[in-house]
Amino acid sequence: MRPIQMVDLKQQYLAIKQEVDAAILDVLDSSAFIGGKPIQELASGLNTYLGVKHTIPCANGTDALQIAMMALDLKPGDEVITASFTYIATVEVVALLRLKPVFVEVVPKTFCIDPEAIRKAITPKTKAIVPVHLYGHAANMDEIMKIAAEHNLFVIEDNAQAVGADYIYPDGTKKKTGSIGTIGCTSFFPSKNLGCYGDGGAMFTNDDALAEKLKMIANHGQKVRYYHEVVGCNSRLDTVQAAVLKIKLKKLDEYIASRRKAADYYDAAFAVHKNIVTPYRAPYSNHVFHQYTLTLDGFENVAEVRNELNAFLAEQKIPSMIYYPVPAHRQQMFAAFGGADFNLPITDWLTDRVISLPMHTELEEEQLKFITTNVLDFLSKQK
Ligand SMILES: *Cc1c(COP(=O)(O)O)cnc(C)c1O
């Protein structure tokens, strides 16, 4: 059996090596390392795939979120409602721009922001909502967009973990996550579902004026070279990364199918155990399984059992991860932002119980069997 990885980037690369190597050599040959042709080609490929008018590539997913908030002219003190149960990048940029992060609960089944909690957190200072499609499951965008329309709020989708996921409306129509809000943001970090071989990110919007502004801010606040209209930053996707992403975008649906197949295997194996809650798939979301995350429940000391499972799996050479061990509102960096004032029992409850298992496009049945057998063996011995 091949060694088990949390994400097996090497195996995935080997399967597309010829095409990728040739594309990278082409970039080297052209020497257009910045602003080369593949960047525009990738942007139009993403426009088509996601069904959006504009894709603005940038240096990483964190920059995408930051530039989105800069483009919406949010002012220091403006309130941004988001989940504490997320990767730090989502909320870090809120603080960086001196906006006020307002942390609310997630729905435990979906791990995504709870629309009812958003409603309760709205004040006259609220300007934006940042839903995160966590682990590859779509947030309840229909509800979120309704709330935003009622209160005249911007919606910035953090789509870093869910590129390719569909949001399905009650009448059956579908939209890709990241294409629904005012601006969608994503990351091309290597381990993401659409990952490059370095850092990368992008912003998506259907608004022409906003697209211009995002592009301008990502390019030192200039439309015309050396004439700087607004304070911007320097955030570029380089040509080598765009060349790699163009190839991987063609494979994205196939990659998602492989992830789902692995998730189906896990689901079936864990269905027998009453203390394991497998990832829920809401009817409105087409899950793309960036992570396969279990919630343990019903053990006497559940956090301890979860941590011991993590350690036991490591001894069997099975990687597993706690995403994330400390929720945002409890991070030291948010002490100055009143993080500790937020009372989020559901977020804390989940933080003690979640564990993510290996999930990638190259998992083999033999590996999945080894993982599930070990998880079940260990848990069957716990009280
Ligand atoms: C990865 C990630 C980001 C940030 O992306 P980078 O490219 O690493 O800056 C933001 N939000 C979420 C939810 C992520 O998973």
Q: Of ligand 1's atoms, which has the minimum distance to the CA of residue 134?
A: 13
* Distance from Cα 46 to the centre of ligand 1, integer Å: 18
265 contacts 321 by C-beta, under 8 angstroms: no
* Distance from Cα 187 to the centre of ligand 1, integer Å: 6
Confidence of residue 327 (pLDDT cuts 50, 70, 90): very high
* Distance from Cα 125 to the centre of ligand 1, integer Å: 26
161 lines ligand 1 (CB under 6 A): yes
Confidence of residue 337 (pLDDT cuts 50, 70, 90): confident
**Residue-wise DSSP of 296-309:** E-S-TTHHHHHHHH
Question: Does the structure show a pLDDT above 90 at 328?
Answer: yes
Q: What is the pTM of this model?
A: 0.97
SS3 59: coil
Arithmetic mean of pLDDT over the chain: 97
> According to CATH, what is the number of the domain 252-380?
3.90.1150.10
173 Cβ contact partners less than 8 Å away, ≥ 6 residues apart: none
127 contacts 72 by C-beta, under 8 angstroms: yes
Confidence of residue 336 (pLDDT cuts 50, 70, 90): confident
Q: Of ligand 1's atoms, which has the minimum distance to the CA of residue 290?
A: 15
Mean pLDDT confidence for 302-323: 98
241 contacts 197 by C-beta, under 8 angstroms: yes
**Domain ranges, ordered by start, for the chain:** 9-102+113-250, 252-380
* Distance from Cα 235 to the centre of ligand 1, integer Å: 15
323 lines ligand 1 (CB under 6 A): no
Q: What is the pLDDT of residues 125-149, one digit of tens each?
A: 999 999 999 999 999 999 999 999 9
Which residue is closest in CA terms to ligand 1's atom 2? 160
Confidence of residue 158 (pLDDT cuts 50, 70, 90): very high
> According to CATH, what is the number of the domain 9-102+113-250?
3.40.640.10
356 lines ligand 1 (CB under 6 A): no
Q: Of ligand 1's atoms, which has the minimum distance to the CA of residue 161?
A: 15
How far is it, in rounded angstroms, from Cα 145 to Cα 175? 13
Q: Of ligand 1's atoms, which has the minimum distance to the CA of residue 187?
A: 7
pLDDT of 199 reads 98
111 lines ligand 1 (CB under 6 A): no
Mean pLDDT confidence for 77-94: 97
Residue 234, strand partner residues: 219
How far is it, in rounded angstroms, from Cα 12 to Cα 361? 7
* Distance from Cα 89 to the centre of ligand 1, integer Å: 6
Share of the chain above pLDDT 70, in %: 100
205 contacts 47 by C-beta, under 8 angstroms: no
Question: Does the structure show a pLDDT above 90 at 180?
Answer: yes
136 lines ligand 1 (CB under 6 A): no
* Distance from Cα 62 to the centre of ligand 1, integer Å: 6
* Distance from Cα 102 to the centre of ligand 1, integer Å: 19
132 lines ligand 1 (CB under 6 A): yes
Report residue 273 as tokens: 């155990």
Cα-to-chain-centroid distance, residue 31: 32
Question: Does the structure show a pLDDT above 90 at 340?
Answer: no
Question: Does the structure show a pLDDT above 90 at 161?
Answer: yes
Confidence of residue 339 (pLDDT cuts 50, 70, 90): confident
Question: Does the structure show a pLDDT above 90 at 238?
Answer: yes
60 lines ligand 1 (CB under 6 A): yes
Q: What is the pLDDT of residues 29-71, one digit of tens each?
A: 999 999 999 999 999 999 999 999 999 999 999 999 999 999 9
pLDDT of 338 reads 86
189 lines ligand 1 (CB under 6 A): yes
Q: Of ligand 1's atoms, which has the minimum distance to the CA of residue 200?
A: 7
72 contacts 154 by C-beta, under 8 angstroms: yes
